[in-house]
Amino acid sequence: MSETSPSIATTGSTKKLIAVQRRTRNLPRNPAHKLPHNLPQKQPHMLAHMTNHQQVTAKPMYILGISCYYHDASAALLKDGQVVAAAQEERFTRKKHDSSFPQHAILWCLQSQGITPGDLSRVAFYEKPFTKFERVLYQHLHSFPKSIKTFVTSLPSWLTEKLRVMKSIRKLGYKGDVFFLEHHLSHAASAFLVSPFKKAAIVTVDGVGEWTTTTIGKGTDSVIELFKEIDFPHSIGLLYSTITAYLGFSVNNSEYKVMGLAPYGDMNRRTNLFYRKLKSVIDVKSDGSYLLDMSYFTFHYGDRMPSNVLCELLEGPVRLPEADLTSRHKDIAAAVQLVTEDVMTQILKHAHDITKCDDVVLGGGVALNSVYNGKILSNTPFKKVWIHPDPGDGGTSIGAAMYVWNCILKHKRSFVLSHASLGPGYSTEEIKAYLDGHHIHYSTFSKSDELVKQIAMLIFKGSVVGWFQGRMEWGPRALGNRSILSNPQNPRMQEILNLKVKHREKFRPFAPVVCLEDASTYFDCNEPIPEITDFMLMVYPIKEKWRKKIPAVTHVDGSGRLQTIQRFQNPLYYDLIKEFGRLAKIPILINTSFNIRGEPIVCSPHDAYRCMMGTGIDCLVMDKFLIRRDENPNDMWDSEQIAKD
């Protein structure tokens, strides 16, 4: 199968990138990139004071946000303060967590609006490269001679690309202003400036930015102030990553596996021996500040994160990938989850004390810990919480661009990120052209009712369905546009999906999707249900009486990382869940990301078809087309050999 991507240049050369831009300058905007038509429109108010003539002739202001070079490169485009396009680079290059300069994502963002780099008003970069380089050099000076290996392997990339961000941006053909924001400021902006709060406490926690690993601040209207920080090497994110590495998983990729493994261990603080041991590794003050005992870590000078001292403390060597997970490993996973929750609770309580805000926004990679997120409102004085759908480094491209619009250019806030459908979409004609061009057997639904009824029945009867609709989601979660859907009532479905479809570890749980109005029937949620359940960022207990009825989405501790959906957000998806509920009596589906293990979530029709044909997915629904795996035997292949992190 040859890969064609009608909208995107796939060459690496930036000269070709500019040539493609010149050719596509006059292309009409692709109607597939429109938002769903029944989504409430949030109109910018900044043109309200102008005359009609001025409104007609006023040129929109485009701001491009970029993040790259560490993990999860991405680009985001604002038009007059509204996010109109955003995507991670990995989805185009098909390299998971691709960190290279996001030229494909940038090109797509520009093409989606029919503009060129010359039409951009400002560009924002998510961190200060020279400050970060200063920290790296200081690490080497501090750690001499132990850091020689990392010095020799990491310095070339600094000299050839990380310190030459301006050159990469100018190569796009953009000649205007470029803003460089602090890393944690970009996190804070991505969390606060697109939230529904006018005033909120801001807490950002990640591995490390330039020097900062944790911050507390406050946001009021368009003003963000960060008051306090904790600096490298003391980092709760790096503690979690170190234990992730110790347990044999890949860092910056598999922390969520440790989170999923934790409930299999001893989650009792009194009886978990490793909890007490890990508490000795970190000194936490009553104000939430903390200090790591660096004798247990090597990340400040080496490429291996846990030190031999930590291995002795945890009573064993680093686990080899794919080796068996013992009860000791599970208890260690539980211990690091408990320690992280303790520290985060202290930090949040202190943030509440100093900001006096009832609302809080979280940013940074640690905000992906959805098990802890589900406990924030019950464990801290905050009344409301909001988290960006991509709180990690990928989301900082939106944060950087929004900071320029709201805080530097001083525009009033007028945008709330109420949905994550910000990536590429494909029209019916484009999908049909792909299917016909590749001689794929498919059938067509004439009405959406017919599609919903038939697919709901297929899922009810045990089929695994690939669901490809609308615009690709922004962030690491599939939220109903690039999803694999199946029946959670089938007790074997978790095993089928893990082994035959996703080719991943058996212990990994699956997430449920439920209509918002039904959520409190099946889950013990906070009331009112936080909006961020739309982005699958909270884990809640499933009510006791339903656990045995939906075993495939009930984790070993009875919890589920639910996604809630309202009809205006995604009518077809919503109707499918309701129709399934009519058949199965419980309106909950399994929603897992549409990808092979080790690959990014699918982006294009080709990616989706390829994924289906290489796994145990029974059929694929793309727009109004149904493609069955067994009707296309010539395109079958086995993805198990390439499935790895």
Partner 1 sequence: MATPKATIIPTMIACLRKIKEALTVVGKKVSTVVNTILLGVIYIFVVGPLAIAARLMKKRFIQTEKKSETYWVKTDVGNKPVNRYYRQY
Stretch that binds partner 1, among 101-109, 224-232, 434-442, 460-468 (CB under 8 A): 224-232
Question: Does the footprint of partner 1 cover residue 343 (CB under 8 A)?
Answer: no
SS (H, E, C) 266-314: CCCCCCCHHHHHHHCCEEECCCCCEEECHHHECCCCCCCCECHHHHHHC
Site string for partner 1, 381-410 (x = CB under 8 A): -----------------------x--xx--
Candidates 68-76, 140-148, 336-344, 582-590; binding stretch for partner 1 (CB under 8 A) = 140-148
- Residue from the set 1, 23, 177, 271 that interacts with partner 1 by CB under 8 A: 177
Closer by beta carbon to partner 1, 140 or else 329: 140
Least CB distance to partner 1 at residue 409 (A): 9
Nearest-approach distance from CB 226 to partner 1, in angstroms: 4
- Binding part of the chain for partner 1, among 92-100, 219-227, 517-525, 626-634 by CB under 8 A, reads 219-227
CB of 131: closest distance to partner 1 in angstroms?
Answer: 5
Distance CA 364, CA 208 (A): 9
Find the part of the chain contacting partner 1 (CB under 8 A) among 76-84, 96-104, 127-135, 446-454: 127-135
Is 413 a binder of partner 1 (CB under 8 A)? no
Applying CB under 8 A, the site for partner 1 has a residue count of 55
Residue with Cβ nearer partner 1 (154 or 253)? 154
Region from 11-19, 221-229, 262-270, 496-504 binding partner 1, contact rule CB under 8 A: 221-229
Could you say whether residue 188 binds partner 1 (CB under 8 A)?
yes
Contact between 574 and partner 1 by CB under 8 A: the answer reads no
Angle of CA points 423, 429, 434, to nearest 5°: 80
Shortest CB 291 distance to partner 1, Å: 5
- Each residue 527-566 as x (binds partner 1 by CB under 8 A) or -, in order, gives ----------------------------------------
d(CA 241, CA 263) in angstroms, rounded, equals 18
CA distance 251 to 242: 8
> Contact with partner 1 (CB under 8 A): which of 45, 50, 55, 225?
225
Q: Which strands sit side by side in the sheet containing 443-444, from one edge to the other?
A: 443-444, 625-628, 619-622, 465-468, 482-486, 588-593, 512-515, 559-565, 538-541
Distance CA 283, CA 290 (A): 5
**Of 65, 102, 117, 129, which one interacts with partner 1 (CB under 8 A)?**
129
Does 215 sit near partner 1 (CB under 8 A)?
A: yes
Taking Cα atoms as reference points, which of 557, 555, 429, 418 lies closest to residue 479? 418
Q: Which position among 179, 256, 445, 546 is part of the footprint of partner 1 (CB under 8 A)?
A: 179
CB of 117 to partner 1, least distance (A): 19
Shortest separation between residue 59's beta carbon and partner 1, angstroms = 22
586 vs 345: CA distance, rounded Å: 35
- Cβ contact 570:481 at 8 Å: yes
Stretch that binds partner 1, among 90-98, 172-180, 470-478, 506-514 (CB under 8 A): 172-180
* Full 3-state SS string of 239-276: HHHHHHHHCCCCCCCCHHHHHHHHHHCCCCCCCCHHHH
First to last CA, the chain: 24
> E strand or H helix at 204, and its extent?
strand 199-205
**Closest Cα partner for 557 from 353, 346, 330?**
330
CA distances, 607 to each of 32, 98, 172 (Å): 18, 17, 27
- Where in 264-283 is the site for partner 1 (CB under 8 A)? 283
DSSP, res 122: E
Among 252, 493, 226, residue whose Cα is nearest residue 365:
252
Among 232, 468, 535, 594, binds partner 1 (CB under 8 A): 232
Q: Which of residues 150-169 bind partner 1 (CB under 8 A)?
A: 151-152, 155-156, 165-166
Question: Does 511 engage in binding with partner 1 (CB under 8 A)?
Answer: no
Nearer to partner 1, 27 or 291 (CB): 291
Q: Which is nearer to partner 1, 197 or 523 (CB)?
A: 197
Of the two residues 78 and 247, which places its CB atom closer to partner 1 in the complex? 78
Assess 568 for contact with partner 1 (CB under 8 A).
Answer: no
Nearer to partner 1, 28 or 145 (CB): 145
Interface residue with partner 1 among 39, 61, 251, 294 (CB under 8 A) is 294
Task: Decide the pairing of beta strands 212-220 and 282-284.
Answer: unpaired
Told to check if 229 binds partner 1 by CB under 8 A, we report yes
* Piece in contact with partner 1 (CB under 8 A), picked from 57-65, 183-191, 359-367, 474-482: 183-191
Residue whose C-alpha is closest to residue 168's, from 73, 94, 93, 77: 73
Phi, psi of 640 (to 5 degrees): -60, -35
Task: Select the residue interacting with partner 1 from 23, 29, 31, 130 (CB under 8 A).
Answer: 130
Burial label, 45 (beta-carbon count in 10 A; 0-12, 13-18, 19+): exposed
Contacts of partner 1 in 295-334 (CB under 8 A): 300
Query: How far is the C-alpha of 423 from the C-alpha of 7, rounded, in Å?
Result: 12
Residues 48-77 that bind partner 1 (CB under 8 A): none
Q: Which residues of 102-126 are buried (b: 16+ CB within 10 A; e: fewer)?
A: bbbbbbbbbbbbebbbeebbbbbbb
Q: Among 207, 233, 399, 581, which residue sits at the site for partner 1 (rule: CB under 8 A)? A: 233
* Angle at 8 (CA atoms; ends 5, 12), nearest 5 degrees: 110
In this complex, which beta carbon is closest to partner 1, that of residue 212 or of residue 632?
212
- Distance between CA atoms of residues 419 and 544, nearest Å: 31
Q: Which stretch binds partner 1 (CB under 8 A): 67-75, 229-237, 265-273, 355-363?
A: 229-237
* Inter-residue contact 173 to 116 (CB < 8 Å): yes
Strands 512-515, 559-565: pairing is parallel
Give min distance, CB of 208 to partner 1, in A: 11
Beta strand residue intervals within 380-423, DSSP E: 384-387
Contacts of 355 (CB under 8 A, 6+ apart): 201, 216, 217, 218
* Sole binder of partner 1 in the list 116, 289, 526, 569 (CB under 8 A): 289
Contact call for residues 303 and 149 (beta carbons, < 8 A): yes
Comparison of 352 and 419: residue with beta carbon closer to partner 1 = 352
Copy the structure tokens of residue 231.
Answer: 């600096």
Per CB under 8 A, does 228 bind partner 1?
A: yes
Half-sphere CA count of 465, side-chain side, radius 13 A:
31
- The residues binding partner 1 (CB under 8 A) are 128-131, 134, 138-142, 144-145, 148, 151-152, 155-156, 165-166, 177-182, 184-185, 188, 212, 215-217, 223-234, 283, 285, 287, 289-291, 294, 300, 404, 407-408
